Structure 1
Amino acid sequence: MPELPEVETVRRGLLPVLQGAVIEQAEARRPDLRWPLPENFADRLAGRRIEAVGRRAKYLLADLDGGEVLILHLGMSGSIRIEGWEGSRASRPGAFHHPRGAPGPHDHVVLHLAGGATLTFNDPRRFGAILLVPYDRLDSHPLLRNLGPEPLGNTFHAAYLAEVCAGRRTSLKAALLDQKVVAGLGNIYVCEALNRARLSPRRLASTLATRSGAPTLRAERLVVAIRDVLREAILAGGSSLRDHRRVDGELGYFQHAFRVYDREGKACPTYRCPGTVARIVQSARSTFFCPKCQR
């Protein structure tokens, strides 16, 4: 599933195309994705102006005139293809570690914009979702209301992380993947951040707090590592192993900076660490880490 840097890269790629654009026509080529499309979906979008393009966790948000927000989740295999914008060749904003679907039968939703550009949502596995929600109910929507703070926002800091992890008997890896703890983190960037912070994914989450509930140095290091790895991944355009390009035609290159993810058996990149990257399974997901320097 695309993680925060990939979704943010998509948002930034869509921004110059969508901000202020008018949807002349919408096509829904099937009635559902992960869930049924909104009732009268195509008719409700026709003629609407897109006022803003945002993101919350792994959800893309398009504010529409008239007081509604279009929520889009890419799911496991979803991507957005842009064609006809300023005469450019087809491009697909975002860059992903795993391949996206090819154009064709999995093009499920198409937006035709004034001026001739089209946006196509392609999703071979149909785990993605598109919803329409009143703006004033956005924060209380079931998909968004229980999300934790954005990891790059001001409300995510060591004191907060210590507070939510105090007394938790779950692993540190599981706690960071919990979207109620912090929004938008996934398997790749949790593995990378834990390695940078030199913390074991097996460590109990509760060890981020002292007995009095204050943040430990581990919590301080972890917050810095999470922020750094996300910022670097966004600047690199996400992670792509194939030919999925951003709007400007460039590839996402952060996979070349992976320290541990998908590098089982390779030498640990930490300075003077003699360890080797190992792989374990936690909650049915692969975890990559160095048993020597991650404690």
Structure 2
Amino acid sequence: MPELPEVETTRRGIEPWLRGHTVKNVCIRQPTLRWPVPDMIGALEGQVVHELTRRGKYILLHTGAGVGLIHLGMSGSLRIVEADLAPRKHDHFDLVLDSGKAVRYHDPRRFGALLWAEGDPLQHALLRELGPEPLDEGFDGDYLFERSRNRSVSVKAFIMNAHIVVGVGNIYANEALFLAGIDPRLAAGRVSRERYGKLAQTIRQILTYAIECGGTTLRDFVREDGSPGYFKLELKVYDRAKLPCVVCQNPIAQITQGQRSTWFCPICQI
């Protein structure tokens, strides 16, 4: 599933093709994604895209008439193609531009979304309750420590909660906890302020480096030009069950937490 680095990589990749260009046509081939594509998405037609921003895992296309919200779901990707290129199976919508290019959305599982917001998009029902961005000022160990008090949920589930902090999905939660030396099974309320300081630092470090690498390609994610992300080559614990820890050589353990797999080193993470 595309996580924050993959979404940010996509945003950066497609922005030069969209900024300052007019959306000539919105071509919807599949009107029912995770939610039905709203009729008012047609308001994008004839609009100049002023900028692309990101909030959590949503890409926001800002125009004078409103803001288009795109979510990549579990298997979605956006690519820049020639507008007249024949669509493949699972190519669900195109934003056709005045340049002759199109932004094409591909999603085999149809868990993504194309939505519309008028007014402040950050007040949209899907965005207004989200936690802070992990790469922004204000996200630090003190914030995590204060929000974690008296919480019995595991620290891994805590940092994956989008109401606490956005964009820390399963891949990067595993990797950040490993670098911070924190056992993912620990109750969030039992982690000290000092250790949360380290964890906030490793979350920021992991996400920043993953963006520089173009994200992580596991099964479905590719960048806007179709090329893979290379952070997979840097993974220390994720999907490495029984392989030696890169620090202590002890086998990496794998457990299930909240219906998701967790990988960690029983020696290095305490």
TM-score (norm: length of structure 2): 0.94
Counterpart in 2 of 1:154? Answer: 137
**2:177 is matched with which residue: 178, 188, 194?**
194
Distance across 2 between alignment mates of 1:116 and 1:231? 33
Query: Does structure 2 conserve the Cα–Cα contact (< 8 Å) formed by 1:274 and 1:292?
Result: no
Deviation by residue 1:123-163 (Cα, 9 ceiling, x = unmatched): 11111011100132x22222111111000110101110101
Partner of 1:95: none
Q: What are the Cα deviations for residues 7-35 of structure 1, in whole angstroms up to 9, with x where unaligned?
A: 00000001111111101111111322111
**Aligned residues of 1:49 and 1:64 also touching (Cα < 8 A):** yes
What is the match of residue 23 of structure 2? Answer: 23
Residues 246, 79 of structure 1: alpha-carbon distance in 2 compared, 3 angstrom cutoff: closer
Please say which of residues 103-112 and 247-256 is displaced more in the overlay. 247-256
Q: 1:289 aligned to 2:260?
A: no
Q: 1:57 offset after TM fit, Å?
A: 0.7
Residues in 1 aligned to 2:195 and 2:225: alpha-carbon distance in whole angstroms: 38
The one-letter amino acid paired with 1:55 is: R
How far apart, CA to CA, are the structure 2 residues paired with 1:176 and 1:244? 22
Q: Which among 225, 245, 249 is matched to residue 268 of structure 1?
A: 245
Number of residue equivalences: 268
One-letter identity of the residue aligned with 1:13: G
Offset of residue 110 of structure 1: 0.9
Structure 1 residue matching 2:150: 3-state secondary structure? coil
Q: Give 1:78-227 correspondences, 5 Å limit.
A: 78-84=76-82, 104-136=88-120, 138-209=121-192, 215=193, 217-227=194-204
Task: Map 1:31-70; keep pairs closer than 5 Å.
Answer: 31-42=31-42, 44-66=43-65, 68-70=66-68
Once residues 110 and 231 of structure 2 are traced to their aligned partners in structure 1, the CA distance between those partners, rounded to angstroms, is 26
Percent identity, aligned pairs only?
A: 45
Aligned partners of 1:5 and 1:40: how far apart in 2? 29
SS of the residue aligned with 2:39?
A: coil
Checking the alignment, whether the CA contact within 8 Å between 2:183 and 2:264 is kept in structure 1 is: yes
Per the alignment, do residues 75 and 243 of structure 1 end up closer, same or farther by CA in structure 2, a change over 3 Å counting?
Answer: closer
Q: 1:261 to 1:135 in 2, by over 3 A?
A: same
Q: Deviations over 1:88-127 (max 9, x none)?
A: xx9xxxxxxxxxxxx6121111111002011111111111
Report the alpha carbon displacement of residue 245 of structure 1 after superposing the two structures with TM.
4.8
Following superposition, the deviation at residue 84 of structure 1 comes to: 3.0
Alignment gaps of 5+ in structure 2: none
In 1, are the aligned partners of 2:14 and 2:79 still within 8 Å (CA)?
no
Tell me, in whole angstroms, the C-alpha distance in 1 between the residues paired with 2:72 and 2:239.
Answer: 22
